[in-house]
Amino acid sequence: MRLAVIYCVLAGLLATGCSVSKYVPAGESLYVGGNVKVIPDSSAKKDVGDLEDELENLLRPTPNSTIFGFPHKVWLYHVMGEPRKEKGFRNWFRKKFGEPPVYASQRVVSANSEILTGYMNNNGYFRSTATGELREGKNRTAEAYYEAFVKPRYFLNELTFVTKDTINTFNRDFLTTQKQGKGTLLRKGDPYRLEAIEAERRRVDRLLKEKGYYYFNPDYLIAKIDSTIGERKVNVFLEVKPTTSQLALKQYFIRDVYVYADYNSLSPDTMPSQARLSEGLRIVDPERLYRPRIFDDAIGFTRGSMYNSSIHDVSLSRLINLKNFKFVKNRFELVTRSDSAMLDVFYYLTPVQKKSLRAEFSGVTKSNNLAGSQVDLSWSNRNLFRAAEFLRISAIGGIDFQVGGGNAGGGDSLAANDFVRFNVQGELSFPRFIIPFYKPNPAESQSLPQTILTTGYETLNQQGLFTQTSIRGQWGYVWRRNAEVEHSLTPFALNVIRPRNISELFIERIFDSNNPNDLIRYLRILENRLIFEGLYTITYRPTPGLFSKNQFFLSGGIDIAGNIAGLFDKTLGGDDGQLFGIPFEQFARFDGEARYYRDISPSLRWASRFVGGLGIPYGNSKLLPQFKQYFAGGSTGIRAFRARTLGPGAFYADSVTRSIFGNNSFGDIRLELSSELRIKFSSLINGALFVDAGNIWTYGNTEDYGQQAAFSKDFYKQIAVGGGVGLRLDFSFLVFRLDLATPFRKPWYPTLETPKNPWVFNEFNLRDKNWRRENLILNIAVAYPF
């Protein structure tokens, strides 16, 4: 609010002709930016690509922020005057809302010209040059203009690792790094880049450190370039400098590993000799705050093992991720002998507070266009059994209401799409696998696995309809084999759902409805449900290549319910599809998601996502439980349709059904494709153009929504399409998103009493209030949709 008032005042002042030129000192000009013009040789035109954008991103300094060309922050900085007090209002205002002026300088232009020249030569445009000049503008401003004269680009031909011999152990290890792992980063046919050579030096250094060469570093490597071979090609020769210290060419092994479990509280006279010995670790923990096993699991070094930088990094990462230590410090010390190749390792740990009580009030947004507020009270213990077990007990109460596009149920809607929820939950996690009859090796994972036990009770009241209670518990595991792949396995999850407090008005509306499907859906709401399931998901986030503009994300999951419950049912002799008098669900659900991102330019990114899901009821179930079904629309789905109003298939809820159930359409099959062009206007303001397509369908069930909702060979005729524009405010710690969308294709149109073309471009009418209310959908959310 305060910022809005300030900018409103500013806008009023601008209208009266305010200017910053009167504040610019004599002989100075306000710097408003720079432009680069690339002038390639005739033979270099095909090589320049995005070079102009790359060069412009190197220009310094960054000009002052502007609104419609006016440097508003500079004006605010000057209009407040020099502060008299260091901590006064004026000083605070200038720092918070103002910005010191950036003045043009010929010296800076000359320095930028040298930077541009260096960048081009370092990226294979050998013998290219750049020049620049300042040009005065209106109102005491100046702009920098640069010309880059670009020569043809050079490309890599051959890479050779050079050594004097292969007898020396170090030389052999050095030669093997060329093809180790994914191989060298300097590949034949790639453009010459100094940055790639530096990255190759770091890669070789990392691999040598994984083989015990603790004192080696990238500066001991030198790359010699031969650009005389012709055809704009270069050969690269990588070798170790002859002046390299002998310490760097020696492999090192671990002697002793010391762990100071409470380093800050230890007295100065606490000696390593007071340490407990456990699995080769010397643990200094006089207060016995931790069991030794947690350090045995987290630290990969043992007495006699070879130094390895990967084990070094993984050990630190594991200790940090235990969430028990405020600070984790580590050092290696050379054992003092003239011929020593041994290291002592020291870990200094500063614990965080063991127990904490937290109260939090927050606003929430969800993918189904629900937003609201909640109060979260939680108590936690980070070291319950002295081995970094984390216990959290929480109570959450909140209210959710629908935002974006209004309420499709209409003004007479009984279901207001508002929810009141209360949740009590306990979660206990162990930083290790707890599996009967199996003891995995912690060293197999780059991070410590988690065993997570959860139990909870939740009540959810949909106003005007009914209240639903849920009692649940689960046992699961989360682990990583590397930084790119994460697994999550929940072999046992139990959920008991019971409806209650069915409103009389809701029942009256059901029996007054002429749609028989409404009664079927109502009877299903009354059913108690027991879900005994197992779940598995895998997530793959590959690390992008050094100069790659592409990024991928893949995930998949499977959820199977009812098999164990069915086995118990038969074992107990019932075989009636019930456990403890409650019908249990049987279904299988499969989910997959793929995302692709491409950086077209520094200010332009293309992002796409495909989502697919299939739920198959079987045995004891005719359809999936509603909270396991899919819905379409909403702020992270097909944004041109309100959440839970699209589909399934060509189904469209009539006004009576919507007045009873609200926005409440679900399906067993989901196909969805989204693509958007993200435009960066500034560090704060981003825009987007997007298109979404897809729908949901039922799997064999025609009772709830009719035949037009079932998946068939003509499913592609029932694809909904929508698109729009977006505004995103990136505050670094969160992204506030506004997406305005409209339907392009409505799949239920051909099934109306008077069939229509599903493509609705001919209906666009921004001047029509009713059209705007029905077809302009504003999605308000936090974070990107994908």
Residue the block writes with tokens 């290890």: 173
Work out the angle at residue 382's Cα, subtended by the Cα atoms of residues 381 and 388, and round it to the nearest 5 degrees: 135
What's the token pair of residue 369? Answer: 């266009």
User: How far apart, in whole angstroms, are the C-alpha atoms of residue 470 and residue 496?
Assistant: 6
Residues 6+ apart with CB under 8 A from 12: none
Q: How far is CA 495 from CA 99, 396, 472, 514, 525, in A?
A: 56, 19, 4, 34, 16
**Residue closest to 346 by CA, chosen among 455, 256, 460:** 256
| pLDDT for residue 1 | 44
- For residues 656-661, average pLDDT: 54
User: How many percent of the chain have pLDDT more than 70?
Assistant: 87
**DSSP secondary structure letter of residue 602:** T
Q: In this structure, how many other beta carbons lie within 10 angstroms of the beta carbon of residue 703?
A: 14
Q: SS3 helix, strand, coil % of the chain, rounded to 5? A: 25, 40, 40
| pLDDT for residue 727 | 95
pLDDT classification of 515: cutoffs 50, 70, 90: low
| pLDDT for residue 603 | 84
Query: What pLDDT digit, counting tens, does each position of 346-390 carry?
Result: 999 999 999 999 998 766 665 555 666 788 899 999 999 999 999
**Residue closest to 717 by CA, chosen among 755, 746, 753, 674:** 746
User: How far apart, in whole angstroms, are the C-alpha atoms of residue 212 and residue 306?
Assistant: 6
The better pLDDT of the pair 608, 403 is held by 608
User: How far apart, in whole angstroms, are the C-alpha atoms of residue 105 and residue 330?
Assistant: 46
What's the token pair of residue 473? Answer: 């518990």
What's the token pair of residue 448? Answer: 């410590």
Query: What pLDDT digit, counting tens, does each position of 220-234 carry?
Result: 999 999 999 989 999
Q: For 263-312, where are the E strands, in sequence order?
A: 276-278, 281-284
Report all structural domains of the chain as residue ranges with CATH numbers, in order of start.
2-150 (3.10.20.310), 155-249 (3.10.20.310), 253-351 (3.10.20.310), 356-782 (2.40.160.50)
What's the token pair of residue 330? Answer: 């580590």
Q: Are 256 and 345 in contact (CB under 8 A)?
A: yes
| pLDDT for residue 435 | 83
The better pLDDT of the pair 18, 599 is held by 599
User: How far apart, in whole angstroms, are the C-alpha atoms of residue 34 and residue 748?
Assistant: 53
Bridge partners of residue 226, in order along the sequence: 235
pLDDT classification of 316: cutoffs 50, 70, 90: very high
| pLDDT for residue 501 | 79
Residue 199 has pLDDT above 60, yes or no: yes
User: How many percent of the chain have pLDDT more than 90?
Assistant: 55
Q: Are 408 and 665 in contact (CB under 8 A)?
A: no
| pLDDT for residue 189 | 94
Query: What pLDDT digit, counting tens, does each position of 89-134 carry?
Result: 878 888 888 889 999 999 999 999 999 999 999 999 999 999 999 9
Q: In this structure, how many other beta carbons lie within 10 angstroms of the beta carbon of residue 390?
A: 19
Q: Are 369 and 378 in contact (CB under 8 A)?
A: no
Lowest mean pLDDT among 145-149, 164-168, 356-360, 452-456: 164-168
| pLDDT for residue 152 | 94
Helical residues (DSSP H) of 445-600, grouped into ranges: 504-512, 516-525, 563-571
Q: Are 198 and 186 in contact (CB under 8 A)?
A: no
User: How far apart, in whole angstroms, are the C-alpha atoms of residue 317 and residue 320?
Assistant: 5
| pLDDT for residue 408 | 45
Q: What is the pTM assigned to this prediction?
A: 0.80
pLDDT classification of 9: cutoffs 50, 70, 90: very low
Q: For 241-294, where are the E strands, in sequence order?
A: 253-260, 276-278, 281-284
Residue 568 has pLDDT above 80, yes or no: no
The better pLDDT of the pair 643, 144 is held by 144
| pLDDT for residue 411 | 46
The better pLDDT of the pair 729, 182 is held by 729
The better pLDDT of the pair 15, 438 is held by 438
User: How far apart, in whole angstroms, are the C-alpha atoms of residue 353 and residue 358?
Assistant: 13
| pLDDT for residue 548 | 84
* Phi and psi at residue 452, to the nearest 5°: -120, 120
| pLDDT for residue 523 | 62
| pLDDT for residue 552 | 93
| pLDDT for residue 460 | 84
Query: What pLDDT digit, counting tens, does each position of 441-487 carry?
Result: 655 566 789 999 999 999 988 776 778 899 999 999 999 888 899 99
Torsion of CA 340, 345, 346, 349, to 10 degrees: 170
Query: What pLDDT digit, counting tens, does each position of 687-713 carry?
Result: 999 999 999 999 977 777 888 899 999
Q: Compute the residue count for the chain.
A: 786
The better pLDDT of the pair 357, 602 is held by 357
User: How far apart, in whole angstroms, are the C-alpha atoms of residue 639 and residue 726?
Assistant: 11
DSSP codes, 616-657: EE-TT-SS--GGGSB-B-STTS-TTS-TTTB-STT----HHH
State the amino acid at position 274 in one-letter form: Q
- For residues 616-642, average pLDDT: 88
User: How far apart, in whole angstroms, are the C-alpha atoms of residue 20 and residue 4?
Assistant: 21
What's the token pair of residue 99? Answer: 């910005």
